[in-house]
Structures are given as C-alpha cells and as structure tokens.
Structure 1
Amino acid sequence: MENLTPMKWAQVQFGLAKLNDPRRTQRLISMAASLANQPGVAVSKLAISPADMEGAYRFIRNDQIQPNDIAESGFQVTAQHAQDHSLLLALEDTTSLTYQHKSVRDTLGHTNQGNRSRALLAHSILLFAPNTHQVVGLIEQQRWSRDISKRGQGHQHASRPYKEKESYKWEKASQNMSTRLGEHLSSVISVCDREADIYEYLTYKTEQQQRFVVRSMQSRCIKEHDQKLYDYSNKLPVVDLKTLNIPQRGGRKARDVELEIRYAPVTLKAPANKVSEPDIPLYYVSCIERGEDKDKLAWHLLTSEVINSYDDAIAVISYYEHRWLVEDYHKVWKTGGTDVEALRMQCGENLERMSVILAFVATRLLQLRFMKYVEPKGDVMSCEVVLGHKAWKLLWFKTVGKPLPTQVPDTHWAYESLARLGGWKDTKRTGRASVQVLWEGWFKLQTILEGYELAMSLERADL
C-alpha cells in the first residue's frame, strides 16, 4: 500500500476523471478523500463542513455525472500500475449489493431473495501480482439492475441471444480489460470460478489468445476417446501429491488435505445446440482430495496455460488458490469495510454513484492485508515504504514503548503493530488480522501523526 494520505490517494485515483466540469472532479476528490479517511461512515456523519456536506449530496444526486465516468478514472490508474508487474492475476467474481428500504424498490431490480429485497449487481475484476503479493487495483467493474418486469422468466434463458444474457458479462469484462491494458494483457491470467464455465466465453478467450484459468462446472464432452471430462480424469495417472491447508472460516475448522494431481491436454466438443461452433483445445488440471468423503475438495481446472509437468500444474493450481481474494474484496466493499450495503439513498442511480467511489476505497482497504508480504526480489522490505519515516517511529513508541531500533523494522512488523493498535488479539492463532482492525489501526496511527505534526507546528510558532 502506497504511503499516501487520503487526499493524495484521492487525487491520484480520481484526478483525471472526465466529468465535463473541473469543479465536479474536485468535488469527487474531496468526497473520496473523506470517505477513505473514515471508511464505513455515512456521508451525513463525515467530519466535514456543512458546505462540503451539501456539495457532496449535490454530487451524489447529479444525474449528469455518470458512474462509469467516475470508475474509468480509477481503472486507468490501475492500468498504469499494472505495467510494473510481469505477471498479474485478473480475479473475477459477481456479487449483489442488496437493499431492503422501501424507497429504492421502484428503482432497483429483483433478487432471488424474495419480494422485499432489491439489488444492484456487480461483476468485478481485481488485479493481483502473485510474485510480490500486491493488490494492484480494480481494472474493471460492470454494474446493472435486473428488469423486475421479467422476473420469473428464467425458463426462457436458452432461447435468449447470448449477448442479452447476464453470462455475457464475463466476455464483456475481458473486452474492457483488454482495451485498458493493451499489449500488457499478455502478462495477465484471468482466474474465474465455475460461473465462468460458459462455452462462448471459453471460445472467446481461446480465439483472442487471452490467458485464463476457469474452474469447470460440468463434465463436458471431450474429443479424447469420445467421453466426458471427469470420466477421462479418473483414468489419468496421478503425477504427484500436494498438501493444501484449508484455513478456518465461519464454522469450518482449519485442516490439511492431501490432493491428487492429474493433468492432460483436452479438446472440448461444442455442445449439442452449438454444433456449428468450433471445438476448444486447452489444458486440464485435476486437483482432488484423497478419500471417499462426499464433500471432499475437487477442483477441475480448464486453462490456456501449457501444462507439460507437475510444476506447470502446480502453478495453475496456485493461481486458482488466489481466487478467494476477489470474494474478500466484495466483502470489504459490501459489509466489512466501506459498508456500501448500509447506504440509504432514495434512488438507484444515487446508490450507484456512491457505490463506485466506495469500490475504489475498498481496494485501498484490502491492500492493508497484504502489507506484510510485500518483498521485492526476495528481500524484506523496510516498513518506511508503507508507513513513512515519521509514522513508523510513532507506531514504535505507541506499541513497543522502547528506544528506537538501529535498523528500520520490516513490513511484517508494521502489519502486526497496526493490527494490535486496532485491537487485534490473534485469538485464533492464524496470524491474520481482519481488514477492519487493520484499518482501525491505520486510522489511529494517522491521528497520532496529525497530532504530532500539529504539536511541531505549534512549537515552531512559539505559541
């Protein structure tokens, strides 16, 4: 995470937003800085002047400001940062921002949660650099609301044109990402869950020579021995084993599992209703937990990456293991950080404008989680890169209470110290702090730093 104040971060993130009026861009920067400084706080409770409060509400209600114009500025910043990395994972997922207050029921579409809920759906692509463990930023996000008059027409799905279906969003997202990244797209691997196992999407990625790892949702027909994919997988030899730690989450206990690794080149046959479409040549990696448990882990991965060895297969599996990060991003955006689902605006368009700003604040929060892993070229990084020269010393005095060390601590120390400043106790012995406590620690440190700067200013003024 760059050592930027909320205002500097907002200037970098939204300074080039094209909103047809420079005053609107300045208002966007001011709002984003306030929201980044106090994530999860409603606009009405932000520590800003009455004039700034009124300006913020005018911005949110301005129909001439398009949410996509706000977002595009942030996407372009991510595209610039992407150039610094030789390998990037484009982690994709779809989520819904759900609201139940009556005032938005006429402006948002339906969900699958009954008649009382309305939702704004979003499909996000988060760029992550696995070699340096850095959350680079949001490179694409589509948002839409379902037509409530068409609720209950799911049985017509097969007869609708592909580009009119929600599933087309996967291809559209790749098109938009390609436009922003240009030639650097060759360094990007799209990583998707089973929802992306769409024949048209796989065809598009293959024809455009875009790299991908997609978890299979169904045992498709393949040309090899004219059989189904999963049946073919069972006949492949186990090339080796891999031990995977499944962390504790919710009511699930942490456990180590032993996985059988198989791989092979395969050719997906066109579905029966698309016989005129081409077959798709790609590679397949099977990663299945040993044992007879019905709920055992089973990943069937389809990929454009060439798999010629066990190491190649393990690399693809490691890419897929990072997919959970985009789910965590959505959690930070929705409830665990910026609390976008707590918004109580009266109009769906106003909600979308606010949600876009908070979508980028959420990436800033998520970056805190990976602070301790930032290690360039295998060397431990000084925490000054993240915290700055004065801030780490103040954090040391606050959390350690001893004379400063002769050597600047690393980012791992900064991570744990910020977490403990935010109230983290590591009661589960995982070594992982939540985004909420990390941000609370970060916010407290910024308050301490501001107090220090004010004291120095008063001393220089001899007051």
Structure 2
Amino acid sequence: MEFSKIIEPHCQMTAETVAECEVVLCVGDTTFLDYDNIVAKKEGYGPIGKGGNGLILHSALAIDPEIGQSLGMLWQKVWHREPKQKPPKDETPEQKKKRQAQARYEARKRPFEEKESYRWVEALTTIESSVSKSTRVIHVFDREGDIAEVFDKVRELQHTGVVVRAAQNRSLDPNSERLWFKLEAQPISLRQEIQLPETSKRSPRKAKLEVRFCQVNLRTPYRFDNRDPLEVYAVYAIEIDCPEGETPVEWMLLTTEAVTDASMATTIVRWYSYRWRVEEYHKILKSGCQVERYRLAADGMKALLGFLSIIAVELLHLTYLHRTQPDTNATELLNPLEIKVLKAKSPKLPKVLTVAWAVEAIARLGGYLEHRHKTPIGIQVLWRGWLKLHDLCEGWQLAKET
C-alpha cells in the first residue's frame, strides 16, 4: 500500500475537525530519515545530509491557535533524491569546475514544480482545497520556507495565510531599502515573554522579547510574471536579558496577516512559537516510534511510515494534553472501549478518570515501573503501551464478535 493512501484518511479527518475553527495554524517542517545501514535494499532510497542514505518527509501539522494543541496532520509527503552520478576518476580541476557550473545552470532552469522547495507551495495549495472555506489556515514556516513563491502563491489563495521566519535580508520596494535596516529603525512596540522548549542546542527557558513591527513591500524576483511587490507585515522580535551561555532569540517574521497593533504582533510571535510542535512530532516519530530502526525495502518502509506517522500524531496529542491539562476527563483522549480496557488492566482506579490516569495506565502497559514515581514517563514507554492498548482493544472486539 502506498504512503499517500495510508495517510490520506487521517488528513481528511483532520480537515473535518478544523472545519469547526475560524482560524487554524498549520506548522510545516521537513526531516531526514536515515537508512544508511541498508545495504541490500537501497533502491528507492537516496542521498541525504552528509553522505547519508534514506527518505525525506515533509509534515504539515494542524495546531490550535489559542493553546498550541495538535489537532492532527493536514498533509504529508515522502520522497527520495536520485543518487548523483560519480565524477570521472581522471577528471581535472578545470573539468570539475565546468561540470559543477553546468549542474548549477541546469538546476536553475528546472521548473519550480520539479524542485524540492516546491513542497512549501504544494502544502498551501493542497490544504486550501481540502479544508472548509469557512476556516482560514495560517501556515507557519521556519527559514527554509522563506521563498518568494510562497508569498506569491498566497496572494492567489482565498483562505490561506503564512507566518515565515525570514532567512534573507530582502530588498524592499521602491528604493531597495533592506528588511533588517527598516525594522531596526522602528520603535519598540511591546515586550513579550514566551516559553522556549528544550532542544539539542539549548535548555528550556522563558525568553523576554522586544518586538517591533511595520508593513513592508518585498521586491518581486524577475522570474515572476506578476512583478507587483509582495505586500506583507514584518514582526521583529529580539531577546533581552538572555542567560549567559545561551544564544539570544532573534526572529524576523514575515506574515500576510495584517499587523496593525501590538495585540496582533503578540499573536504572530505566539503563533510562531508553536512551530516547535512539528519538531516535537518528528522527534516522537524517530525516538518513540523508532522509525529509522527498520530495515525494509523502500516501498515497504514508506507504507510502514504511513502507519507510524499517524501513531506519532496520537502520541504527540497525548503527551501535550498530559503536560498541559492532566486533570481533564480521560474521554478527551480515549474512546469508550480504550477506557474500558485500561480500567480492566488497572489495579486501582481513582474516583475520576483523568488524562493523567490514562497516560500512566498506558505507560504501565508499555513497561513503566510504578514504584519509580520520580522517573518521567518516556516516549518509548508510551509508544509500547499505546501499541499494546490497540492490540488489547482489537482482541476485545474479536472476542465479543465470536
């Protein structure tokens, strides 16, 4: 079964869920899945990173704009790069220079739809057509999504907007003034605190930001048929009083949403801070579901990836609900059969079945040791427990039918 056939029903369910929202965020990101240890089944995989071999996955995750809770996947795409031809063994430095120049020229001439960067625009158009017209979808991208085609496509769409972290100090019309210079000249409009999650490069902390904003016109590249300037708003956030040893936050955010007051500027910064949800999702997919440990042929791996991607969405929802709303009723997380199975497997039941109880019960199914209360529940334990819960529910249903 193809990856797209597996993930599409989940994406359709998510689209139906967000149809009830006036505004929904869609955070996008790309991750590399490394299968370099596969020797006999390399066909269908391709080069990634520095000498790696594997698949590339792009995820578009729906997020509640008020509390940052994940709502499900709206779109996903998986692909592989074609292996590059090895250069001739007797190639001279001059020949190598000419070959590389020719390769760059051919890359520039390729249609945009054939380039990897097209995935950012593909997400916009695909989700616009799948989500209810009563819902405005705001896509949130990191610097990799800062391409002119994104802003150009948005002005063609009716129910889509973007918040993109700028990667380029763009030229502004009409006098070629630069983006950073213009925003640095604006007065500080507000100060805002945001919670920064832990990453491989920093500890979790609250960051104090000084925020400036104004409207800007981005110069349109000459390759575009529509040469009108791209009218957007820029929100520039810089961290103050950054702890020693940490890198201060500096976000230049470009958005199609009208930022005319401090309240909306605050909203844009908060929306961008939710972008880490998709990074957390990819982390769960890799460290929890251990998607890179399998050794399958590419077609089989892509099919398995479809199933694991959906499970990772469920685990993200579960862990975030446990973190932010542990006292919420367990029915917000589980269906009646899942609750019935967990009750049957639990040695002692609390008076109220909460999300916290449900997560701990699932963790016990995955091997979590109850007496080690100070040990946090890990994502691998939840992954194993979640799978076992699904197996038990399936067994319960089969027993009931026979």
Calculate the TM-score normalised by the size of structure 2: 0.80
2:46 to 72, 95, 109: 109
Q: For the structure 1 residues 348 and 158, does the alpha-carbon distance in structure 2 shift closer, same or farther, using more than 3 Å as the test? A: same
How many equivalent residue pairs? 374
Alignment check: 8 A CA contact 1:422 1:444 kept: no
Indicate yes or no: 2:248 matched with 1:296.
Answer: yes
In the aligned structure 1, how far is the partner of 2:3 from the partner of 2:362? 33
- What residue number does 1:142 align with? 77
1:223 CA drift (Å): 2.4
Indicate yes or no: 2:274 matched with 1:322.
Answer: yes
- What residue number does 2:313 align with? 363
Indicate yes or no: 2:59 matched with 1:124.
Answer: yes
1:205 to 137, 154, 175: 154
1:221 CA drift (Å): 0.9
1:263 CA drift (Å): 0.8
Amino acid at match of 2:165: R
- Name the structure with the higher strand share: 2
2:288 to 320, 337, 347: 337
Amino acid at match of 2:75: E
Alignment check: 8 A CA contact 1:422 1:440 kept: no
In the aligned structure 2, how far is the partner of 1:200 from the partner of 1:404? 54
Amino acid at match of 1:303: T
Deviations 1:323-353 (A, max 9, x none): 11111212222x22222211211x3222222
2:131 to 181, 190, 194: 181
Percent of residue pairs identical: 28
- What residue number does 2:234 align with? 284
Q: For the structure 1 residues 435 and 154, does the alpha-carbon distance in structure 2 shift closer, same or farther, using more than 3 Å as the test? A: farther
Deviations 1:97-152 (A, max 9, x none): 211211233332212321xx322112111112233654222221122211213687
- What residue number does 1:166 align with? 116
Alignment check: 8 A CA contact 1:104 1:118 kept: no
Indicate yes or no: 2:331 matched with 1:381.
Answer: no
In the aligned structure 1, how far is the partner of 2:389 from the partner of 2:80? 39
In the aligned structure 1, how far is the partner of 2:289 from the partner of 2:272? 26
In the aligned structure 2, how far is the partner of 1:391 from the partner of 1:178? 39
Alignment check: 8 A CA contact 1:368 1:435 kept: no
Deviations 1:260-314 (A, max 9, x none): 1111111111236659632100111111112698932101101111112111011
1:156 CA drift (Å): 4.5
Alignment check: 8 A CA contact 2:27 2:62 kept: yes
1:222 CA drift (Å): 1.2
Q: For the structure 1 residues 172 and 447, does the alpha-carbon distance in structure 2 shift closer, same or farther, using more than 3 Å as the test? A: closer
- What residue number does 1:40 align with? none
Amino acid at match of 1:170: W
1:224 CA drift (Å): 6.7
Taking the TM superposition and a 5 Å limit, the aligned residue runs for 1:47-86 are 65-86=1-22
Indicate yes or no: 2:169 matched with 1:219.
Answer: yes
Q: For the structure 1 residues 104 and 132, does the alpha-carbon distance in structure 2 shift closer, same or farther, using more than 3 Å as the test? A: same
Taking the TM superposition and a 5 Å limit, the aligned residue runs for 1:440-455 are 440=384, 442=386
Alignment check: 8 A CA contact 2:70 2:277 kept: no
In the aligned structure 1, how far is the partner of 2:126 from the partner of 2:55? 20
1:356 CA drift (Å): 1.8
Amino acid at match of 1:422: Y
In the aligned structure 2, how far is the partner of 1:154 from the partner of 1:350? 34
Alignment check: 8 A CA contact 2:318 2:333 kept: no
Q: For the structure 1 residues 142 and 418, does the alpha-carbon distance in structure 2 shift closer, same or farther, using more than 3 Å as the test? A: closer
1:394 CA drift (Å): 5.7
1:154 CA drift (Å): 5.2
Secondary structure of the corresponding residue to residue 102 of structure 1: coil
Indicate yes or no: 2:187 matched with 1:240.
Answer: no
- Name the structure with the higher helix share: 1
Q: For the structure 1 residues 261 and 394, does the alpha-carbon distance in structure 2 shift closer, same or farther, using more than 3 Å as the test? A: farther
Amino acid at match of 2:261: S
1:386 CA drift (Å): 2.8
Secondary structure of the corresponding residue to residue 163 of structure 1: helix
In the aligned structure 2, how far is the partner of 1:297 from the partner of 1:111? 28
> Structure 2: 5+ residue runs without aligned partners?
87-99
1:369 CA drift (Å): 1.1
Alignment check: 8 A CA contact 1:99 1:119 kept: yes
385-394 or 90-99, which moves further after superposition? 385-394
In the aligned structure 2, how far is the partner of 1:441 from the partner of 1:183? 38
Q: For the structure 1 residues 270 and 341, does the alpha-carbon distance in structure 2 shift closer, same or farther, using more than 3 Å as the test? A: same
